[in-house]
Structure 1
Amino acid sequence: MRLRSHYIVLALAIGIPVALFGAIALHILQDTQHSSAIGRIEQSATLTARAIDADIYRAQSVLKVLGHSHALARGDLALFYEQAREASAAPGGWIILYDSSGQQLINTRRPYGIGLPRRPDPEQVTAMLASGQGQVTGIKWGEALKNYFVMVEQPIQTPSGQRYVIGQAFSPAFFAHSFAGGALPPGWRVAILDRAGVIIARSENADKFVGVTVRPATLAAIDKIRSGVFTHLSGDDNEMVDAFTRSERSGWSIIIGAPVAEINAAVWRGVPVMSAGLVIALIAALALAMLAGRHLVRFVARASQAAALLGRGGAVDSLPRSGIHELESLNEAIREASKRLQAEMRSRSDAENERNALLVSEKTARARAEEQNAAKDEFLAMLGHELRNPLSAVASAVSILDNGRNIDDAMAQRARDVLRRQTDHLRKLVDDLLEVNRALMGKLELDKAPIDLAEMVRRCVDTLKASGRTAAFTLRIDTVPAIVNADPTRLLQVIDNLLDNAVKYSPGGGEIVLSVRQVGDAAELKVRDSGLGIPADLLPHVFDIFVQGKQSLQRAHGGLGIGLSLVRRLVELHGGYVRIDSEGSGKGSTATVTLPRLAGHAAVAPDAPSIPAARLRRVLLVEDNTDAREMMSMLLQLRSCDVVSAASGPEAIAAALAGQPELAFIDIGLPGMDGYAVARALKADERTAAIELIALTGYGSANDRSLALDAGFARHFTKPIRLEDLDLALTAQTQGSTVE
C-alpha cells in the first residue's frame, strides 16, 4: 500500500471517528436542548400557576379580613362599602356582598345605595353557607358588565350570627399579568382555562378566544393528569409542544405552548458548522495525518469524557483549547450545553426552594389564623360570661322588686344597690372595650396638664376605700410629690386598673403598697401586692390583649383581659413605660409605671363642677326604644320636668313646634331620620332654634362628639347617662355651643 493510501486510511480513521463524535455530540446537544426547552415550558406553566394561586390567596385573605369588619358586624353597609372599595385585591376588580338568598347588598363597581340584582344562581350561596367553604368560579358573562369575569367567593358569619357570602370579582385581563412583560419568547402561547375548559385569558388574540371552549382533544389530555406535556397541531398547522399544570386553589389549567421548529432550531443551526469542520479535518488529515491523528485522538477522548460528564449531570468548567477552529467550536458547544444544564438545574432548585418557602408561609399563616380564631372564641366566651353575671343579678333584683308588698325596705334597698352596682359594672365593661379599641387604633386624645402623681394616687385610694373593697386589706402609701404632664382622666384609669388588679388577685387580703418617688428625670409609681402572683410562662404575655391567667369555671376574678393592655397603651401615649414583675405563683406581683417628670412646675388642680339649683323645665325626649324612653321619661319626671316624648324624627319636630320645650334629649340612632338631621331641622327653624339640644347616644368617639357639635347639639352624653350628668344638663345654662 502506498504512503498516500496510508494517509487516506489514517485520514479516514481520524475523520470517521470525528464524524461519529460530531453526530453523537449533536444528538446529545439536541436532547439537552429539547429537554431544557420542555423543562422551561413546564417551569413557566408552574410559575404562572403559582402567580395565579398567589392572586387568589391574596383575594381570599382580603375577603376573610373584610368578614371580620366591625362595620359589617353592626350592619353599617355604607362604611363597609368604603372599606371594601379600599381593600379590593385587584386593580380594576370589585367586591360583591350577598345575603343568604343571593341578593346583592353592595357592589363596589356600582354606586352605594342603588338597586342591585339578585344573582342568577342563589343555590351556590346556599351551598357555600351550608359547607362553610368558599369557591373559585369559572368564567362567566356579565350582562350588565358586557364582559366576562371570574369570582373568588367566601362565606362569612358576623358575631351576631348574620351570614353572608362575599366575593372578589376579576376581569380576565387581570390574569394576563401572570404571563405579560415579555418573559416568554414571542412564538410561545399561553392560555388559562377554567375547570370546564373555557379560556379565561390568552397571550394571543385574547378578544377572539376568551370565553371559548378548547378542543375536545386538548380537554381530554389535560383532564387525565394534573400536569404533563403533549404535542399537537395548532390552528395554523404548526406542530406545537404544550406543557400544562393545574392551579392548586382554583382548579384552573395553565397551558404554555412552543413551536417544535423553534425548539429544534438552536440545535440544527450547528449542523453546517459541524459538517464544514468535518470536511476540513478530512482534507487536513491528508497532509498532517500523524500529527492531526494524535491530536484528534486526544481531543475525542477529552470530548467523550466531557459528554459523559454532561450525561451524568456534571459541570464542564473548562476544556483544553484546540488549534482547530471547528473542534474549538465543539468545545464551546459542550461548554454552552454545560452552562445551560447547570442553569436548568439551578432553576429547578430555586423553584423547589420557592415551593418549600410557600409551604412554610402557608403553614405559618394557617397557624396564625387558628391562634386568632381560638383567641376570638375565648374572648367571646369570656364576654358572654362577664355580661351574663351582671344581667343575672339585675334580673333577680328586678324580680325581687316586683314582689312589692312581700319584701321589706331593707330587701328593696339591697336590690336597688345590686342594680346600681351591676349597671355600673356593665358600663365599665363597655367603656373598657371602647377605650382599648380606641387606644390600640391610636384614636385617643389626651388633655395634658401638670399634675401631682402622688395626689392622683391618693384620690384613687380614697375612691377604692369608699367602695368598701379594701376592708380586708392593709393599704400602705409611701409617696413624694412628683409633677408629670398628663391627662388626669387617663392617668386615673391607669392607677385604677393597677389597684383593681392588686385587689382582684389578692383574694385572701394582705398588704398592698403604693409608692411614688422621683428617679432622675422620671416619676416612678409602684403598686405591689402579696396575692396570687404571675406564673413565669404567663409573665411575658400579661400586656397582650385578652390574656389572663387560667381560671376555674367560676371565674372568681372576672374581667376581659384588656386592663393591662389599656394601661400600657395609655402610659406609652404619655411618653412612659410600664413593667410587671413577679417571683411566681403565690408570691405577689409588682407593677411599675415610669413617666417623664416636670421640674419646676406646679400641679394644676381640676375644678369641681358646680351645679346650679334645679328648676322646672319643659323637656322633649326623643328615643325610639320604648323601654328606654319610658324609663328616661320617669327619671325626668322625678326631677320635676314636664316631659313630652317622641319615637321618631318627624314626631320630634312636630312635638317641638307644638310644645316649645326649653331642653331636648335626642337619640342619634333614630330610624329613617337620625338625630343629627333632627337637630339641624330644629336649629334651622326660628321657632325652635332656641331649644337647648343634648345628644344621648351609644356612640361616644371623638368623631361622634364633633358631628354632634356640627349638627347643633350643646352637649353629648353616652348611654346610660350618669345621674350627675343628667342633673347637670337639667340645671346648667348653655354657655355657647359646647360638647361634653
Structure 2
Amino acid sequence: MRLRSHYLVLALSIVVPLAVFGGIALHVLQDTQHSSAIGRIEQSAILTARAVDADIYRAQSVLKVLGRSHALAQGDLQRFYEEAREASAAPGGWIILYDTGGQQLLNTRRQYGVELPKRPDPEQIGTMLASGRGQVTGIKWGEVLKNHFVMVEEPIRTPSGQRYVIGQAFSPAFFAHSFTGRALPPGWRVAILDSAGIIIARSENADKFVGRSVRPDTLAVINKTRSGVFTHLSGDNREVVDAFTRSERSNWSIVIGAPVDEINAAVWRGVPFMSAGLVIALVAALALAMLAGRHLVRFVARASQAAALLGQGGEVRELPRSGIHELERLNIAIREASDRLQAEMRSRSDAESERNALLVSEKTARARAEEQNAAKDEFLAMLGHELRNPLSAVASAVSILDNARQVDDAMAQRARDVLRRQTDHLRKLVDDLLEVNRALMGKLELQKAPVDLAEVVQRCVDTLKASGRTAAFTVRVDSVPATVNADPTRLLQIIDNLLDNAIKYSPGGGEIALTVRQVGDAAEFSVRDSGLGIAPELLPHVFDIFVQGKQSLQRAHGGLGIGLSLVRRLVELHGGFVRIDSEGSGKGSTATVTLPRLAGPAPAAPAAASAAASRLRRVLLVEDNPDAREMMSMLLQLRSCDVVSAASGPEAIASALAAQPELAFIDIGLPGMDGYALARALKADARTAAIELIALTGYGSEKDRTQAVDAGFARHFTKPIRLEDLDQALA
C-alpha cells in the first residue's frame, strides 16, 4: 500500500466516525437534558410535599402536647387558652377546642369567654373520637372570618376521662412558604390541592384561584396515582408539563408545572455549543490526519537517527509504530537491539549500585552502633551517678548510727530520715526503670475504676507535704470534682512524677499551682511552676526517654530522664494526652494532662485498712538473704509479731508445720525450691493450707503478680516493702 493511500484511509477513519458519533451524542444530550428538566420538576414537587408534611407533622405534635396539658385535665380552660396561644405551630394560625358535640369551647383567634359557634359538621367529631385518629381537612370557608382555612385535628382524652377534639387552623397563605422560598424558574407554577381537587395555595394569582376546583381532566389524572407527569394545555393555550405528587400526611396533591417551550428552549440553548464543538472536532481531525501524514514521511529520518544513537551506546526510548510492514520490521529490530544493550548496561550499573549501597549501609550501621554505644555509656554513667548518691548517703547515715554513743537523738533522727528518703529514692529509680520498660513494651495492664481526679491530686499533695518536700514552696491547689475511669495507682504515679519535676526544677520559695477542671467531656489536670523552664530546642523532645536539660557534673536535679516518657505512656493507656508548655529558660513550665471524663461523681473510696492489731501475730518469714531476713524480722517484731524465719523451701515447710503461723512472707527467688513451689506445697497440705501467703519479691511485673496468685499467694509486694503496705498486710 502506497503512502498516499495511507493518508486517505487515515483521514477517513478519523473524520467519519467522529461525525457519526458526534451526531448521536448530540441527540442523546438533547434527550438527557429534557429528562433532566422533567426530573427537576418532579424533584421540586417532592421537596414541596415534604415541606408541607413537615408543617403538618409540627402542628400534630403541638396538638398532642397540648392534649397532655395539666390545665385541660383540671378543667381550667382559661389557663389552657393561654397555653394554646403560646403553643400555636405557625404564625397566623390559631387553636380551636371542641367538645364531643362539636361545640367550640375556645378559639385562640377570639377573646376568651366570648360566645363561640358550633361546628357545622359535628359528625366528624364523633368519627375522630371513635377511631382515635386525627385528620387533615380540605380547604373550608369561614363565615365569621370571611376567608378560607384548613384544619389539622387530633382527638384527645384527659386522665380524668374527658374527651375533646383539638385543632390547629391555618390560612392558605401559610402553606405558600413551602415553595416561595425555593429558587424556581419564573415560568413555573406551583399549586397545592386538597383531596377534592380544590386549590389551597398557588404561586401565581393566589387571590383569584384559591378555593376554586381544578379542571376535571386534571383531577382525573391526579386521582389515578400518587405521583406522575402529564402534559396538557393551560388556560392561556400553552402546552405545559405538570409533575404531581401526594402528601403522605394530608393526602393533598402538590402540582408543579413548567411550559414545554421553556423546557425545550433550555435544551436547545446547548445545541449551538455542541454543534460548534463538533465542527471544531472535525476540522481538528482533518488537521490531525494531515499532520499524521507528514509525521509518517519523517519516520524514516527518525529511524536513521535511532540507529545512529544505538551505535553510540545510547538508549532508544521510543519509536512510533507504523502500519507499513517493512518500516515496522525496522522498528522492531532497533527496539530489540536497544533492549539487549540497555539490559547489559543495567546489569553492570546494578552491580555497581549494590556495591555502593553495601558500603553506605556499612557506614550507617557503624555510625549507629557508635551512637548507641555512646548513649549506653552515657546512660550507665548517669545511672551509676544516680545510684551512688543515695548509696553514699545511706552509708554515711549507717556510719553515724554505728557511733550511737557519740550521736545525740536529733542527729540520729536526721540520719534515719536520710535513710528513709534515700531508700525511697532508690526504690523510685528502680520502679521507674522497670515501669518505663514495661510501658514501652506494651506489658502494662490497668485496673481501672471511677475515681475523682481532684481527690487523687489532693492526696498526692498531702503526702508530699507530710514528707516535707514542699516546705520550701507555696503550693496552691484549685480543683473541682472530675470523675475519670483510671487505675488509681497509675494515676498517682502520673501526678507524682509531674509534681516531682515541678519541685526538682523550681527554686526554693517559688510557687507551684495545681489545677483540676472540667473541659467539655474531658477532665484536665495541670501543674504550673515558676522554675527553670525549658529551652525551645529541648521542648519538642521532653517526652523522649533519657532526655534531660543540660546539667553540670554535680547533676543538681538528678533523675534518669525517664519520668515524662512514663507519664506520656500511662496517660495514653488511659485514653488521654499530655503536653508540656514553657515560654523558655527561666520562665517556668506547665504540664497539662487531659483524660476522658465520666458523668456523675466518683464512688466513695474504700476505707483504708486498719492498722495491725496489737495482739501477738505468728508470722513465718522465708528469705534467703541473711541481712534482709534479719531486718525484716526486726521490723515485724516491732509490729507485735512472733517471727519464725527460714532460708529455704524445705526449712520453711518444717517451720510452718511446727509453728502454725497465721501469715507467711515468702521470697520468690529462693535457691532450689522457689517461692511458687513452696506456696503450692503449703496450700496442698491441709495442716498449712489456712496460712495466708504474701509474696515479697523483686519481680514486679503483671505476669509475676498473676503467677503468684495462681500459686496461692493472697498478696504480692515488691521489695523493699513500704511500711503502709506492711501494715495493711498485717491488718
**Same fold at TM > 0.5:** yes
Deviation at 1:558, TM superposition (A): 0.6
Question: 2:112 aligns to what?
Answer: none
Question: 1:499 aligns to what?
Answer: 499
In percent, how many aligned pairs have the same letter? Answer: 87
**Deviation sequence 1:15-53 (CA, Å, 0-9, x none):** xxxxxxxxxxxxxxxxxxxxxxxxxxxxxxxxxxxxxxx
Deviation at 1:351, TM superposition (A): 4.8
1:637-716 maps to which residues of 2 (within 5 A)?
637-716=637-716
Distance 1:687 1:546, change over 3 A: same
Question: 1:624 aligns to what?
Answer: 624
Distance 1:601 1:367, change over 3 A: farther
SS for the counterpart of 1:544 is coil
Deviation at 1:366, TM superposition (A): 4.1
The answer to whether structure 1 residue 483 and structure 2 residue 488 are counterparts is: no
Distance 1:531 1:685, change over 3 A: same
Deviation at 1:543, TM superposition (A): 0.3
Question: 1:610 aligns to what?
Answer: 610
Question: 2:471 aligns to what?
Answer: 471
Decide which moves more: 578-587 or 403-412: 403-412
**Deviation sequence 1:505-553 (CA, Å, 0-9, x none):** 0124322222222222222222111111101111000000111001011
1:205-216 maps to which residues of 2 (within 5 A)?
none
Contact 2:618 2:642 in 1 (8 A): yes
Distance 1:388 1:340, change over 3 A: same
Contact 1:460 1:496 in 2 (8 A): yes
1:525-674 maps to which residues of 2 (within 5 A)?
525-674=525-674
Question: 2:371 aligns to what?
Answer: 371
Q: Which amino acid in the other structure matches residue 480 of structure 1? A: V
Contact 1:483 1:603 in 2 (8 A): no
**Deviation sequence 1:449-483 (CA, Å, 0-9, x none):** 22222222222222222222222222222222222
Deviation at 1:319, TM superposition (A): 9.9
SS for the counterpart of 2:447 is coil
In 2, the alpha carbon distance for the partners of 1:328 and 1:691 equals 97
In 1, the alpha carbon distance for the partners of 2:687 and 2:729 equals 22
1:18-33 maps to which residues of 2 (within 5 A)?
none
Question: 1:425 aligns to what?
Answer: 425
In 2, the alpha carbon distance for the partners of 1:629 and 1:708 equals 20
Question: 2:383 aligns to what?
Answer: 383
Q: State the TM-score, normalizing by the size of structure 2.
A: 0.55
Contact 2:453 2:482 in 1 (8 A): yes
Question: 2:126 aligns to what?
Answer: none
In 1, the alpha carbon distance for the partners of 2:611 and 2:400 equals 34
Distance 1:313 1:496, change over 3 A: same
Contact 1:682 1:689 in 2 (8 A): yes
Distance 1:716 1:331, change over 3 A: closer
1:4-153 maps to which residues of 2 (within 5 A)?
none
Deviation at 1:300, TM superposition (A): 13
In 2, the alpha carbon distance for the partners of 1:488 and 1:643 equals 33
* Unpaired segments ≥5 residues, structure 1: 1-298, 733-740
In 2, the alpha carbon distance for the partners of 1:562 and 1:467 equals 23
In 1, the alpha carbon distance for the partners of 2:421 and 2:328 equals 97
In 2, the alpha carbon distance for the partners of 1:320 and 1:410 equals 103
**Deviation sequence 1:401-434 (CA, Å, 0-9, x none):** 1112122222211111111111111111111112
Contact 1:477 1:513 in 2 (8 A): yes
Contact 1:450 1:603 in 2 (8 A): yes
1:197-596 maps to which residues of 2 (within 5 A)?
309-316=309-316, 318=319, 332-353=332-353, 356=356, 359-596=359-596
Q: Which amino acid in the other structure matches residue 688 of structure 1? A: T
In 2, the alpha carbon distance for the partners of 1:652 and 1:505 equals 49
Deviation at 1:334, TM superposition (A): 4.5
Contact 1:617 1:642 in 2 (8 A): yes
In 1, the alpha carbon distance for the partners of 2:369 and 2:444 equals 28
Q: Which amino acid in the other structure matches residue 713 of structure 2? A: F
In 1, the alpha carbon distance for the partners of 2:607 and 2:378 equals 43
Contact 1:623 1:646 in 2 (8 A): yes
Question: 1:167 aligns to what?
Answer: none
SS for the counterpart of 1:464 is helix
Contact 1:546 1:560 in 2 (8 A): yes
Contact 1:375 1:546 in 2 (8 A): no
Contact 2:321 2:328 in 1 (8 A): no
Q: Which amino acid in the other structure matches residue 460 of structure 1? A: C
In 1, the alpha carbon distance for the partners of 2:578 and 2:530 equals 19
In 1, the alpha carbon distance for the partners of 2:365 and 2:646 equals 52
SS for the counterpart of 1:653 is helix
Deviation at 1:306, TM superposition (A): 6.1
Deviation at 1:504, TM superposition (A): 0.8
Contact 1:508 1:531 in 2 (8 A): no
* Unpaired segments ≥5 residues, structure 2: 1-298
Question: 1:178 aligns to what?
Answer: none
Deviation at 1:438, TM superposition (A): 2.0
Q: Which amino acid in the other structure matches residue 468 of structure 2? A: G
**Deviation sequence 1:577-597 (CA, Å, 0-9, x none):** 111111111111111111112
Contact 1:481 1:517 in 2 (8 A): yes
Q: Which amino acid in the other structure matches residue 600 of structure 1? A: G
Distance 1:313 1:623, change over 3 A: same
Q: State the TM-score, normalizing by the size of structure 1.
A: 0.54
Q: Which amino acid in the other structure matches residue 437 of structure 2? A: N
Q: Which amino acid in the other structure matches residue 501 of structure 1? A: N
Q: Which amino acid in the other structure matches residue 696 of structure 1? A: L
Contact 1:450 1:604 in 2 (8 A): no
**Deviation sequence 1:637-694 (CA, Å, 0-9, x none):** 3333333222222222222233333322211101111111111122222232232222
Deviation at 1:500, TM superposition (A): 1.2
Question: 2:268 aligns to what?
Answer: none
In 2, the alpha carbon distance for the partners of 1:342 and 1:473 equals 77
Q: Which amino acid in the other structure matches residue 687 of structure 2? A: R
Q: Which amino acid in the other structure matches residue 573 of structure 1? A: L
Distance 1:302 1:493, change over 3 A: closer
In 2, the alpha carbon distance for the partners of 1:322 and 1:517 equals 80
Distance 1:601 1:663, change over 3 A: closer
SS for the counterpart of 1:716 is strand
In 1, the alpha carbon distance for the partners of 2:347 and 2:724 equals 74
Question: 1:128 aligns to what?
Answer: none
